[in-house]
Chains A and B, each alone.
Chain A
Amino acid sequence: MTTPMWALIAVFAPLASALLLAVLAPIRRRGGLAAAVSITFALASLVGAIFAVIGTLHAGGSDWTRSWLASGGALPLSVTFGVHVDGVSAPMLAVVALVATCVQLFSTGYLDDESSASRGRYFAYQSLFLFSMQLLVAAPNLLQLFFGWEIVGATSYLLIGYWYKKPSAARAAVKAFWVTKFADMGLLIGLVALFGFTGSFEWTAQLAPAAATAVTLLFVLAVMGKSAQFPLHVWLPDAMEGPTPVSALLHAATMVAAGVYLVVRAQPLFAQAPFTQHFLAYLGAGTALFAALLALVQTDLKRVLAYSTCSQLGYMLAALGAGSAFAGFFHLTTHAFFKALLFLAAGSVIHAVGSNEMSKMGGLWKKMPLTMLVFIAGAFSLAGFPGFAGFFSKDLIIDSLSEHHLWAPYAALLLGAFLTALYMGRAILLTFFGPHESHEAEHAHEPGWSMKLPLIVLALLSVGAGFFGGDLWHLASLTDYVHGVYHFRFGAVASVLALSGFVVAWVAWGKTREEPALARSLAAFANRAWVDRLYVFGYRAGLLLVSDVAAWIDRYIVDALVNVVGSFFLLGARRARRLQTGNVQDYLFAMSLGAIALAVWSIWR
């Protein structure tokens, strides 16, 4: 088997499972069977991805493509689909498949009180998601990437709306789709323009500077939507309405990282547009800081993690903006592990307590020691505690910014590192320490093995993945446009900041669960609602108003015109029908008059 064949397995195995579950209702309706099918194929995808990585290590990248859509004539269009295996896509395939497998396994335990039909539906969505994500990752051109990009958006919509009977979940799903669809206009127009300029959808295309800037800025709009960057981040916190494993997989580890992945992939295009890169650096750093501040004041555990995801994606984009594709990509992989871990651990807690609110938790360390341990491992990794995975990748990002003398984003990211440790410290303390705050928290217990196993796997990776940075670099450098050298420098400042963040958190929340005054005022200031309100205003006063106007014009001008013409004949006919009395004598009278008139005319002519 060649490398592309393994990659094809990685991509299309989940599709097979999705089709099986979609078409064969008997399998789908038996929830456990559906889960088994889905997990089996996810494992197949993982195996395929791992062999693809090995193949790439040995023999370098390779492609397998077939024609998908072609058109002749004076405007030749030839779109291919297939897999493009190289040092970026192969490890990404493996990461996605690994996290997806863990999450699906976790889901079997997490959703055990759902009806089996609806669990079947869940796993059908999960398989479809995995397929489309792998399709995106393995894309040989930007069009296939867009293809996967949109389908992951749709599965995200379906999975957020998994509990569709809950109005808030339904709204959140639609909102997420709206916002990302709005942003995707940028990618769509960008692709159309790219084809207009180059006649292809390759990311290696050469463009004039102005065109490159325009196209990449359009791409960045889509990235802002998908990777939840300010000001299009509003959908991500609401997306937490979905089941927690979904949040772990889609809204933390993989799907939201698609934006980052797009920038990594299209690095040759972005390299032609320095303005866009600068914009990206500032955008990423700004979001990293802003979202970290918001994470500090959330009371909902999942929302803390959601804002943390926004913030971490900001880190990655800032690195890409600085031109260091590898730093962003490295953080993308480590983040996938520790953020998935954090969400799954949070899911385990939520499953036990039955609430997302940290005010209902507390003191869980005695009841759920394993969950606490893995959560802390994830938190340390996220905060960049020396030795943990996140530490390596985050230092690389901060390093790359200083290398390119982007001092403002550099400072923002350093401050962000401190805040990260602070809010994670707060989350740990409020969730696992202090007194039990609710009846459920007192009776919480560790989950079953189907949930523990993924936690342990991901915890090991969150702790150790950083040490494989060199190997990842070796792989990624096979792709010619991943520049620079991987060298590891101990980021003393960032480490000190991270440590001090934990210390401050201990000081603030170690003894009391009261929010300090500073945090309270910050919460009032950073109330996320104002951005939302802006959008609601735009929707109501903008789109809905225009739509009302259009509908009014349609009814009372365009359609009325038709009706006026019609009524002209109708009313005229009402008058005219009086002539038709139905009395033969009247008709005869008219005939005689006519005959006389004719006679007179013929005489006097």
Chain B
Amino acid sequence: MTHHLLSLIVGAPAAAALVLFSVPATEKLFVRIVALTGALISLAGSIAVLATYNLSEGGFQLRETYPLVPRLNISLSLAADGWSVALLLLTGLIIVAGVLASWTLENRQKEFFITLLILVAGVFGVFVAQDLFVFFLFYEIAVLPMYLLIGIWGSSHAITEGGPFKYIWKLFNIGDKQYAAMKLTLMLLVGSALILVGILAIYSNGGHTFDLFALAKAHYPHHMQLFAFVLLWVGFGSLAGVFPFHTWSPDGHASAPTAVSMLHAGVLMKLGAFGLIRVGMILLPDGAHFWAPFVGTVAVINIVYGALAAMHQKDFKYVVAYSSVSHMGVVMLGAATLNVLAWNGAVFQMVAHGVMTGLLFALVGHVYERSHTRDTQRMGGFATVMPGVATFFTIAVLSSLGLPGTAGFVAEFLVFLGAWHSAYSWWAVAGVVGAFVTAVYVLTIARRVFWGPPDPVKQFHELRDVRRTEWGALWILGAAIVVLGFWPGLISSHIDKATVANLQQVNGAAAVTLNDSGHATRSTVGWAKQSDAHRVRPSMMGSAPLHPSYALTRPMPAADRCRSAPPIQRAGSRAPDATTATVVMR
């Protein structure tokens, strides 16, 4: 069984979708049960992967390979490492919660579930694909159904605003669900096109294979790396909501139906960040190192700017959507920092934010469904009539502002710790400020919507608390937030295992490249735990603590060299092995 665990996870939603084709739409209960079964199988599979993954061994496990197009070296190759384990679990949780949250959908429920399940099969596939071609295929499968899901099941919300672009706004019918669907799909497809170019560049420079392992061993010309990395950053970045390619996100998430927003903000945006790390950074380490300062700075803009923009919003869904933009900035910041702590944090944040934003969208969707408005200024006192929603909203809000005891804290804290160790310590400070701004607006919104006197003008007639299956969705996600907050070790050791291996790939290759050009020597790699008094850094902000990656990618100032002497090689620290990475700068 464990031999086919990954194909089971990917295949179950797809199979459920196929079964649904043959089920008459009038059998509502049966349709729902089939969809839920597909989702539950995937979740169970994900949990099984978490349980069976051999931590002491690490690396990629549960490998499966089926040849697809042998002449082009394309094969359906699946395997899971620690990151996949965590992200599979996230996807499983979100899809089950998503199916439960759309249990009572009235309009074309069967078709909705078919599309949703196909989409989620693609998501699962991306997280375990070990073949670049298949990776891209799954990526597209995950992105494209979104057009139908928003265009058919979405909600329109007229935005009447004047301003300098009034004409264009009228032209597009902004706020309309078709507009949102079109904008989202087009922006993401433009991104995909760039990714495709990047992938082809990697393919043709990496020995004409799509196998990710072989590609990781290959060495790419320096300039090609710099170029291809930008393509991948823009392409994957659009899906990850990177500034300034994020504007599909507020409109798209606001128009999308509940389950789709949950899935999209909860999981799909992570595909972007995951793709950038797995394809962009690991395969193209030179590109990653060269662009890291830029990528990190943009990520900081994401965090602060997204939070500020969210603060201004009056529309409930827009607030949550912009908060996603802000939180994805934390992921990107972690990715750009290129050290173990920050990458652990980035992947943890993918999970934490996924669960949290899934919960938020489930709740916002419920409130919208009941109150028929998204205008927070008209709401108030909802906690009285929907205490369950208010409670879970509070949990999500606390995770959003990074409160310890919730998953959000672990992730943000790891990223900030890592960022402080980069060459740009101010990233950490800016990130903390962003977290404060988040606290300001999420608390405001919670007060405005849920607290205060209940419905003074009696404008809401259908308000009621969540019922039956909807509780399931909330409990799953709410519990995940708290459990991961108190017990991060559940997935963090898996994540850490993969991070260490992957980062060795990135920093090892770059280190040797520069070694050849004679800038730095390997003896500076050791970053020992500086608890001894004599190793205390004499200055603080002025010279930021150097992480090995930065120590190696830039010429070391003499002062730093003195300071880190004597170079104590920590037992078990992972210095790159020169024999495994013989890089030549072409």
Contacts and interface: CB of A to CB of B under 8 A. Distances in A.
Interface of A: 67-77, 132, 146-148, 150-151, 153-154, 157-158, 161, 164-167, 170-171, 173-174, 177-178, 181-182, 185, 188-189, 192-193, 195-200, 205-208, 210-211, 214, 543-544, 546-551, 554-556, 558-564, 566-567, 570-571
Contact of B421 (A67, A72, A196, A571): A196
Interface string B447-474: 1001111100000000000000000000
A152 B1 CA distance: 47
Contacts of B161: 555
A208 B311 contact: no
Contact of A208 (B244, B417, B537): B537
B15 interface: no
A196 B545 contact: yes
Closest 8 CB pairs of A and B: A551-B312, A73-B340, A550-B308, A170-B451, A547-B311, A147-B404, A164-B451, A559-B247
B489 interface: yes
Contacts of B59: none
A76 B538 CA distance: 21
A208 B540 contact: yes
Nearest to B401: A181
B565 to A, nearest CB: 17
Contacts of B443: 157, 174, 177-178
**Max count, chain B CB within 10 A of own CB: residue among A151, A554, A561:** A554
Contacts of B246: 558
Contact of B453 (A158, A167, A554): A167
23 contacts: A69-B410, A71-B344, A72-B496, A74-B573, A74-B574, A76-B570, A77-B341, A161-B447, A177-B439, A192-B413, A195-B420, A206-B533, A207-B536, A210-B540, A543-B311, A550-B308, A560-B164, A560-B165, A562-B187, A562-B247, A564-B165, A566-B172, A567-B168
A71 B341 contact: yes
A185 B432 contact: yes
Contact of A211 (B171, B421, B537): B537
Interface in B223-275: 243-244, 246-248
B428 interface: yes
A192 B433 CA distance: 13
Contacts of B447: 161, 170-171, 173-174
A206 B536 contact: yes
B175 interface: no
Interface in B61-92: none
A14 to B, nearest CB: 14
Contacts of A165: 381, 384, 451-454
B169 interface: yes
A560 B166 CA distance: 10
B480 to A, nearest CB: 15
A68 B537 contact: no
Given A73-B500, A566-B183, A182 B341 contact: no
Contacts of A570: 171-172
Interface stretch (B128-136, B210-218, B523-531): B523-531
B109 interface: no
Contact of B440 (A75, A153, A543): A543
A562 B418 CA distance: 34
Q: Which one of A188, A551, A570 has the greatest number of beta carbons of chain B within 10 Å? A: A188
Contacts of A199: 529-531
Nearest to A195: B417
Contacts of A68: 488-489
B32 interface: no
A161 B507 CA distance: 49
Contacts of A197: 530, 536-537, 540, 545
B525 A74 contact: yes
Given A72-B340, A73-B499, A196-B425, 11 more contacts: A170-B447, A174-B444, A178-B443, A185-B433, A198-B536, A206-B536, A211-B536, A555-B161, A561-B244, A563-B169, A564-B168
B168 A70 contact: no
A549 B443 CA distance: 21
Contact of B496 (A71, A198, A544): A71
A198 B532 CA distance: 8
Kindly name the residue among A543, A547, A560 whose own CB sees the greatest number of chain B CB atoms within 10 A: A547
Contacts of B440: 178, 181, 543
Contacts of A546: 308
